[in-house]
Structure 1
Amino acid sequence: MKHVYPVLLCGGSGTRLWPLSRKSYPKQFVPLVGQQTLFQDTAARLTGQGAGLAFQRPVVLTNADFRFIVTAQLSALQIDPMAVMIEPFGRNTAPSVLAAALYLDKVDPDALVLVAPADHVLPDTAAFHAAVAEGAKAAEQGRLVTFGITPDRPETGYGYLQLAQRPDGSGAALPLARFVEKPDLARAKVLLGQGDCLWNAGIFLFKPRDMIAAFAAHAPDLVDPVRAAVDQARPDLGLLRLDPGAWGQLRDISVDHAVMEKADNLSVVPYDGVWSDLGGWESVWREMGPDADGVALGGNATAIDCADTLLRSEAEGLQIVGIGLKNIVAIAMPDAVLVADMSRAQDVKRVVDILREKGAAQAETLPRDHRPWGWFESLALGGRFQVKRILVHPGAALSLQSHVHRSEHWVVVEGTARVTVGDEVKLLTENQSVYVPVGAIHRLENPGKLPMVMIEVQTGAYVGEDDIIRYEDVYGRQARE
């Protein structure tokens, strides 16, 4: 059995699936085409054994905003990561890949490292394991291996890998001739017809020492700062925070541009199975499996006399209905609705830029705010009040805190809450309530085995999330986290 260490990259905040995917909760953490999230699917795919491979505990690279989402979603799968490395700032994939290589070089220098974005769809796990096993043969010989997807259409949203020879159907790794940037439609048709070009999946397999050597040869300015960031990383509640001073010296660059396009020891494993990076709503429509009329529905959606259309409702109790639509994407969220021509799906990221310029909160944040203990969402907001719905996971607790500008009324509607207000601690069940005066030190906990839900009514001169003083917090957070 060959030991393979998965490295999951999940720090990105893609905008092409707005309004469902946003900076505060991007697509990798959303169940887009199944019951599990894309991140969970990726972690599960790279667990256990298959095709002569033994997958070890994963290493995850993400940012501070997603650290609790990562640990909670892995915990739901009973996956214990080897490390969750927190990037102080986004610096693209090159520093992330090098950090993982340096870290794992100390753990097991002879093992193989498989770097995978955490937002891809790869439903045939056995076929993918077989492809990794083929790549392992080349990686064992010191090659840097990438994976290319056999194209089935002239796609303009992906970069391409041109091979030194046409694939022979064996699945064996082949030498790479060159990288091809995302083409226009005419060029994509030519590449499809050549038969020697594959979509670049952005998945890599290598030995740590070989990747470190490639960076030393082709991007030497990154090596010392990344090494310092890893060596000076600070453990924090089971996480590993990379040193911000060293990380701040790094330039923003992808691993393709930093290393892969310059290295002369690259091999490509052709992959014929189903794959998608869900890079836009057209991809989601395709993966959802449209009916005979080309209609795909999600949530409370109804289509009447529609064709080649995607309708999704992502809000409880909100119905979306399409009549006579053709080539349309319509996505309904509690706070935003997208309606677009299917052919313009790749332009959705422009919407985010426009909304950001207008100062609209919908550009980056969702109404539901996920925290390590659960989540809350605002139901009503006025000048001097706010009404929230709050869910607390079993066994979880909010911080011991107080507020300067607001008081709070709590009403439990599901489950049991343990409430601390000042020196008093008591249990509340459904239909029971408590009042928290301005300035009172308080805490909310869920001692039960089921989620606890409550309604919170805030009143006061200011009801912003930064009106909080923390005295104790099991998650080590500062204000507003």
Structure 2
Amino acid sequence: MLIPVILSGGAGTRLWPVSREGHPKPFMKLADGQSLLLKTYLRAAGVAQVGEMLTVTNRDYFFMSKDELANAKLGENLPGVFMLEPVGRNTAPAVAMAALHIAEKYGRDARLLVLAADHLIQDQPAFAKAVVDATSLAADDYLVTFGIVPDAPETGFGYIEAGEAVGAGKAVKRFVEKPSLDKARSYLEAGNFLWNSGMFCFKAGTVLDELAVHAPDVLKACEACWAAMKECGSRIDAMLEIPAEAFGEVPDISVDYAIMERSSKVAVVPADIGWSDIGSWNAIRDLAVPDADSNRAVGDAIFVDTRNTYVQSEDRLVAAVGIDNLMIIDTPDALLVAHPDKAQEVKQVVARLKQRDHDAYKLHRTVARPWGTYTVLEEGPRFKIKRIEVKPGGSLSLQMHHHRSEHWVVVSGMAKVVNGDREIFVGTNQSTYIPAGHKHRLENPGVMDLVMIEVQSGEYLGEDDIVRFQDVYGRC
């Protein structure tokens, strides 16, 4: 049995302003409207027809991940299971926790196909063939990694030196850190070096045994987490919630450092699969089709006397006049203008925003919630205006604010509102007023999206001015 394990954790700071802490890289939608996470689910489903789709992610991303899996429409043969980390602890603990779950549920011989949620693979048949080769090696108790056949002397990836043939793959001689340009050129010329993709395949029992030998502190801490999950009953249906206190004791280490670089049972499957880790705006740019002047655009753009320029715009027209070799990324609340040679430095912008405690490192103007979305339309001293969209059947928590009052105007749909001691229905072009200190709740009882405008006023309008009394999404 082959169980896909999707690791969905990184923030993708080099893809700011589209990727942000509250809406990270796996949820970025490409030009075809699909997110990287959705593409990963579809890719994994193509090679694993039964069992489950296990996603290891942060607790804060549970509902967004669940929505993306629902969009994949995988059916009952491949139900979604979500293992929720309270904090990030790198890939070794994530793999260990997944292996403990799969070994208990499906047996130690069940194989894990570990995939990153934010990679792009464009050749699905070649990927499927590589998975077949990897599973055959995993059956012989190898820890298998997928090595990408390089087409350039890339300095941004780690490398794997492949040795003699082993079954459908090759033995791994050594892992190499990101090299200098000269070394990368020599690796390309040698012909037996591959890019380290960060994708793996192995039996649950094999990886647990190798962790016991090479990273016993990781395995022991993860086993304590697993025992705590059983004891406190945090394994409910499709949601496996890891206790924060126990997980805080787990070492922060990658699976490469923990076992892949130490074990003698490591093999690599060379894979020419159209792979990209979408690690910078250069990778996003290269997905778009260029015009005669090597300009590329996603969204509405006009190029005048301009060459080698990439424009991505969500809401408005961008005109580029008389420029060469730039990237322009426009979102409703932030604009990035960068030289392609400095694409890796975008993460420095995020670092500075964090230093200033600026919301733009964390949130977009449109913020996803389990019940739908809200968009900040305008704000100023003592007021904020939001557009709120609630999915059919969605419900905000029963809550109260100390410092602000709210005026709700329904634009379309029907709202079921708790306002103090009253429960009322508010239809299109109707409104209700909620004073500060009143308990209130908003629900969508209909079959269409509920859209409304919220006008907040008060001395403090921060999102942390909220007291939840009841919540169907477990956020109290």
Partners of 1:99 and 1:363 lie apart in 2 by: 30
Distance in 2, matches of 1:35 and 1:361, equals 26
Measure how far apart 1:308 and its partner are.
Answer: 2.4
1:216 aligns with 2:216: no
8 Å CA contact retained: 1:46, 1:55:
no
2:203 aligned with 1:191: no
Greater displacement, 418-427 / 211-220: 418-427
Aligned to 1:96: 94
In structure 2, the partner of 1:106 is: 104
What are the ranges of 5 or more consecutive residues in structure 1 without an aligned counterpart?
none
Alignment of 1:34-53 (within 5 A): 34-48=32-46, 50=47
Cα distance, 1:272–1:292 mapped onto 2, change above 3 Å = farther
Query: What residue number does 1:62 align with?
Result: 57
Q: How does 1:282-431 map to 2 (within 5 A)?
A: 282-314=282-314, 316=315, 318-431=316-429
SS of the residue corresponding to residue 164 of structure 1 reads strand
Aligned to 2:242: 242
Deviations 1:87-108 (A, max 9, x none): 1211111100111111111112
Q: 1:476 to 1:24 in 2, by over 3 A?
A: same
Is the Cα contact below 8 Å between 1:60 and 1:81 reproduced in 2?
no
Cα shift at 1:148: 0.9
What is the Cα deviation at residue 193 of structure 1?
Answer: 1.4
Distance (Å, rounded) in 1 between the aligned partners of 2:14 and 2:27: 15
Cα distance in 1, alignment partners of residues 465 and 203 from structure 2:
49
Q: AA paired with 2:417?
A: V
- Following the alignment from structure 1 to structure 2, what is the Cα–Cα distance between the partners of residues 237 and 163? 42
Cα distance in 1, alignment partners of residues 263 and 50 from structure 2 = 27
Q: Measure the CA separation in 1 of the matches of 2:268 and 2:291.
A: 35
Once residues 308 and 191 of structure 1 are traced to their aligned partners in structure 2, the CA distance between those partners, rounded to angstroms, is 29
In structure 2, the partner of 1:30 is: 28
Distance in 2 (CA, whole Å) between partners of 1:57 and 1:446 is: 31
Name the CA shift for 1:342/1:443 in 2 (closer, same or farther; >3 Å). Answer: same
Q: Any residues of structure 2 matched to 1:92-241 within 5 Å, and which? A: 92-108=90-106, 109-165=108-164, 172-233=168-229, 234-235=234-235, 238-241=238-241
Alpha-carbon separation, structure 2, partners of 1:194 and 1:151: 11
AA of the residue aligned to 2:293: D
Separation (CA, whole Å) in 1 of partners of 2:469 and 2:236: 18
- Contact 1:47–1:57 (CA under 8 A) maintained in structure 2: no
Confirm or deny: 8 A CA contact 1:165 1:196 kept in the other structure.
Answer: no
Matches of 1:237 and 1:367 in 2, distance apart? 33
Distance in 2 between residues matched to 1:294 and 1:106, nearest whole Å? 53
Q: Deviation string for 1:70-89 (max 9, x for gaps)?
A: 11211222346442111121
| 1:33 CA displacement | 4.1
Q: State the alpha-carbon separation in 1 of the partners of residues 444 and 42 from structure 2.
A: 29
Kindly, what percent of the aligned residue pairs are identical? Answer: 44
What letter is aligned with 1:119? D
Partner Cα separation in structure 1 for residue 259 and residue 144 of structure 2:
12
2-structure distance, mates of 1:27, 1:95? 21
CA change 1:255–1:33 in 2 (3 A) is farther
**Code of the aligned partner of 1:138:** L
8 Å CA contact retained: 1:328, 1:340: yes
Contact 1:399/1:474 (<8 A) preserved: yes
Indicate if the aligned counterparts of 2:401 and 2:467 stay in contact, CA closer than 8 A: yes
Matches of 2:346 and 2:436 in 1, distance apart? 43
Once residues 291 and 172 of structure 2 are traced to their aligned partners in structure 1, the CA distance between those partners, rounded to angstroms, is 38
Is 1:259 aligned with 2:266? Answer: no
Q: Number of paired residues?
A: 468
Q: Deviations over 1:252-311 (max 9, x none)?
A: 111101110111111111111211010000011112233343222112222223322211
Deviations, residues 318-343 of structure 1 (Å, cap 9, x unaligned): 22221233221110111211111111
CA deviation digits over 1:439-458, x for unaligned, max 9? 22211111222221111001
Distance 2:307 2:146 in 1: 34
8 Å contact kept, 2:285–2:310: yes
Q: Give the residue type in structure 1 aligned to 2:277.
A: D
Q: Say if 2:165 and 2:171, in contact at 8 Å, map to a contact too.
A: no
Deviates more, 1:388-397 or 1:463-472: 463-472
Report the CA distance between 1:465 and its aligned residue.
1.4
CA distance in 2, matches of 1:149, 1:419: 54
Return the alpha-carbon distance in structure 2 between the equivalents of residues 205 and 292 of structure 1: 43
Higher mean alpha-carbon deviation, 62-71 vs 139-148, is at 62-71
Structure 2: which 5+ runs fail to align?
A: none
Amino acid at match of 1:69: M
TM-score by length of 2: 0.94
1:166–1:196 contact (8 Å) kept in structure 2:
no
- Aligned residue type for 1:347: E
One-letter code aligned to 2:182: A
